[in-house]
Copies of this chain bind each other. A is one copy, B any other.
Amino acid sequence: MPETRWLDDEEQGTWRAYIWTNHLLWEALERQLQKDSGIPHAYYIMLVCLSESPDRTMTMTQLASVTQFSASRLSHAMARLEEKGWVRRIKHEEDRRTTMAKLTDEGFSALESAAPGHVGEVRRRVFDPLSREQIRQFHDILSTILSGLESAEESEEDAGPA
């Protein structure tokens, strides 16, 4: 193994800024959503995904893959959302293993009332302070990092037993 290549000052500073930004931004968003609508961000994401899906319906596995949640986490969370009446679980008729999650009207309303505040917060915190040019750069940077992460993900699936 080669000796550790530590981060230089510029990288170090950037990394800490990233950690810190994430931390504060996340907290701000979580708090805003929680106060305004009593929804944790994770649940909000699930509702958004469902709302954008045809018939506001997805199988659990689809939803898990889109949100990148574990099956278990999704299942627990879905139980909560169902209690709130925002989602209904429906057994698939053909393949009786699969469960469909359907966003109810109540769920859609909850989302509608939560969305403006959330979007407003994102805009205020992230995009308003940046120039158009910076937004473009930001997008490029994120896409670059992302593509590396995604290809790493795939190759991990093969990496199971030797």
Contacts and interface: CB of A to CB of B under 8 A. Distances in A.
Contacts of A148: 124-125, 128-129
Given A15-B126, A145-B21, A149-B28, A4 B138 contact: no
Contact of A141 (B28, B134, B144): B134
Interface stretch (A6-14, A55-63, A72-80, A86-94): A6-14
A136 interface: yes
Contacts of A14: 127, 135, 138-139, 142
Contacts of A97: none
Interface in A10-62: 10-11, 13-15, 17-25, 27-28, 45
